[in-house]
Amino acid sequence: MNLSRPGAAAKLLVLIFLSLTLYFWGLGSHGLLEPDEGRYSEIPREMRETGDFITPRLNYVKYFEKPVLHYWLTASAQAVFGENEFSARFFPALAALGGIAVAWALARSMFGRETALYSAAILSTSLAYFALSRINITDMTLAFFVTLSLAGFWLGHNRGRRYYLLLYGGAALAVLTKGLIGFVLPGGVIFCYMVLSRQWDIFRSALYLPGIILFAVLTVPWFLAVCLVNRDFFYFFFIQEHFLRYATKMHGRYEPAWFFIPILLAGLFPWTGLLPMATAPALPGRNRRFGRDNREELFLFLWFAVIFLFFSLSSSKLIPYIVPVFPPLAILMGRAFNSMTGGEDFRAAKRFLVWNGVLLIPFIGALLAYPFFNDRISAARLLPYSLPVAAALSAFVAAGVYAYRKKRARLFAAALCLTAFLAMFSFMRVFTLYDGLLSSRDLAEAVAELRRPDDTVAQYGNYDQALPFYLKQRIVLVNYLGELDFGAEREEDPSWFIDDEGLKQLWNGEKRVLLVINTGHMEKVSALLDPRLSSIARRTEKRIILVNRP
């Protein structure tokens, strides 16, 4: 980019400032959300406590559902910023910003600086991409490395083979983040692009020996080390957590094949109306030779479509899985938006406004109506969160209509980008609502106030995964295994996983015990521990804390 042009430099600086502020502001202001953030914060904490950075452990038992890189990154953030919510979310937010930067660079290489700016702005302010950047889960880290890998492929194929190092390095780090999909996803996209564009030389060109060596150097050491230390790792991780998880309903995460369609449409808010015109240039058309013209658009579309289809066909589905599809869609949408606002076809803005209105206006109405019709949370509690989001999205719609009617393309672009950032800033506050609904921070604080040195903390029929993180203490689990089943079977000390009879022995033993139960378990636990059940020590909204002696 030519920074000697003040206007271009100013736009980029404004984008950088708004994105950095949006993604890091208030990052640690709310408690860890159960169960994922508790899990992905506690495993790195235990690594630092035990000094074992090879074998991941959760509540001090082996936990092999994910590889190790995300844990290492979080552990490094904890070492710098402390063991808190900000350090837990630091790398997902940084990975999201990295994905935005890579999307900007790739869009600039493909389509020029204006498209690059719009692509980065659209990605920064897409609802799902932003929301998932503020949660400590592995998916945003994976999305960044997949984005880096596929950008490296495109640059290697079109600019020089040395860029293939990014392809292999990104894929290797993706594998270390979430397993085999780290190279399955880029590989599937590249294969489909090679076939549909009929560029068979890609196969020979992309087999780049320095890249293959880099991939092996990055991935082999940890996988070899963890297999040598844990002989049961290979089957559990590669067979059960990859092939069986994808092909069966073993984890109870089955959803229909269309599950991700509404997620995608809502996740692209407030830009969803760009989707039809963004994807059209990649598809067969009257004046286009499919696979030979518009190869940039075809590659980006396949990047989106292959990953989207891969997860749609899986028997295990969760919302964050499709995060890697947002960068290529943002570039395609940035291309369409630049075409619309750069003077090529401003009349297309009307189609965008119509499509967007069809989707956004009902969503705005739902934000205003839902607080009065749901039976879980009072309207007085919900409205302070839903009203600002509804107002910001209404401003986005109104700004677009106003600028279009004035036929001012530059105003149209600036107003929509700025109000999109406003919408995301307003949405940021929603996480404080979930702090009270999904975080165990208040529960941990209550337990910590009651706890004395050498007390045992136990939880009945459930496992709030952030409790060990906040308390810096292992939890005895009663009538619960869940995803700890694999590790519990290999636990040498059976006193950490007990049944009702074990709880009675623990409760009546010599140690002081703090027992955390769900409110719905009170009757059952009272009958089990009567007559030595002491008075309730503390209540939270969903939990009760019992103590066996003063």
Determine the residue type at 453: P
Rounded average pLDDT over 362-368: 95
| Type of residue found at 262 | P
Q: What is the mean pLDDT of residues 61-86?
A: 97
Average pLDDT, the chain: 92
| Peptide bond connecting 550 to the previous residue in cis, omega within 30 degrees of 0 | no
Parse the chain into domains and list their residue ranges: 1-27+91-341, 349-439, 441-547
pLDDT for res 129: 98
Measured CA to CA in angstroms, residue 40 lies from 32, 125, 483, 486 at distances of 10, 25, 13, 17
Start-to-end CA span in the chain (Å):
68
Closest by CA position to 98, among listed 138, 141, 155, 134: 141
pLDDT confidence bin for 1, thresholds 50/70/90 = very low
Residue 260: per-residue pLDDT: 96
CB-CB contact of 441 with 145 (8 Å): no
Average pLDDT value for residue range 521-540: 82
Q: Of all helices (H) and strands (E), which one includes residue 477?
A: strand 476-478
Residue 111 CA neighbour count, 13 Å, CB half: 28
Least confident residue range of 20-24, 26-30, 330-334, 341-345: 341-345
Indicate if the pLDDT at residue 246 is higher than 70. no
Distances (CA, A) of 275 to 6, 142, 301, 463: 31, 24, 11, 41
